[in-house]
Chains A and B, each alone.
Chain A
Amino acid sequence: QVQLQESGPGLVKPSETLSLTCTVSGGSISSSYWSWIRQPPGKGLEWVGYIYASGSTNYNPSLKSRVTISVDTSKNQFSLKLSSVTAADTAMYYCARGPSGSYNYAFDIWGQGTMITVSS
């Protein structure tokens, strides 16, 4: 079955760019949408944006000026870059499959998450 695994630096300095990668295993990254979702410590979930395998993207307007999501189909990976980070970007970052048309555009498969702390 499809599994997702996030990877990232753990610690990012303020004003720098956060870079994360999600590796898809057990299935192809093609013909699906893939999202990033984040959760600050002790808080709720925030959708960051999605990418389709073709490369088309859709971002949350609250982050749009700082977000870039890209895909590498040859590696079955997709990535997130978030620029000019501040302490407010400290969160658990999840990658997920979705919006999935087979599930009313829900997020049906999630990675385990990677914690990103923004601190000098």
Chain B
Amino acid sequence: DIQMTQSPSSLSASVGDRVTITCRASQSISNYLNWYQQKPGKAPKLLIYGASSLQSGVPSKFSGSTSGTDFTLTISSLQPEDFATYYCQQSYSTPYSFGQGTKLEIK
């Protein structure tokens, strides 16, 4: 099974900041890496698929990149509505697996 490791597990930032969340796969997953945003009491929402493709309707402040088995989600110019928990997920092979999540909090 493929293990996904996210870092950091929590992150404090201020409105207007730019933040980066990293996800590492335990083996090569090509670009089969997706990012989700989850707000309290809500279902996860797909932000980025294929490591760097923005889901329709998602603001361009969200971006994704890859370097080998390391994947990065960058959020620029943080706004209050961006404070949430973010998950990465590999769709390379079953069983599909998620990172443990990164909780982004307001400083």
Contact = CB atoms under 8 A, between A and B. Distances in A.
A117 to B, nearest CB: 16
B98 A45 contact: yes
Interface string A38-59: 0000001111000000000010
Interface string B37-69: 000001111100111010100000000000000
Contacts of B89: 45, 106-107
A110 interface: yes
SS of B interface (majority) = loop
A112 interface: yes
B34 interface: yes
Interface in A96-120: 98-99, 103-108, 110-113
B80 interface: no
A106 B35 CA distance: 9
A113 B36 CA distance: 15
B20 to A, nearest CB: 20
By size class, the interface of chain A is 20 to 34
Contact of B87 (A45, A99, A111): A45
SS of A interface (majority) = loop
Contacts of A62: 95
Interface in A40-93: 44-47, 58, 60-62
The interface centre, meaning the residue of B43, B44, B91 with most chain A CB atoms within 10 A of its CB, is B43
A34 interface: no
Contacts of B94: 47, 58, 60
A111 B45 CA distance: 10
Nearest to B33: A104
The interface centre, meaning the residue of A45, A46, A111 with most chain B CB atoms within 10 A of its CB, is A45
- A-B pairs, top 4 by smallest CB distance, nearest first, are A105-B91, A104-B50, A110-B43, A106-B34
8 contacts: A47-B95, A47-B96, A47-B97, A61-B95, A94-B43, A99-B91, A104-B51, A108-B55
Interface of B: 1, 31-32, 34, 36, 42-46, 49-51, 53, 55, 87, 89, 91, 94-101
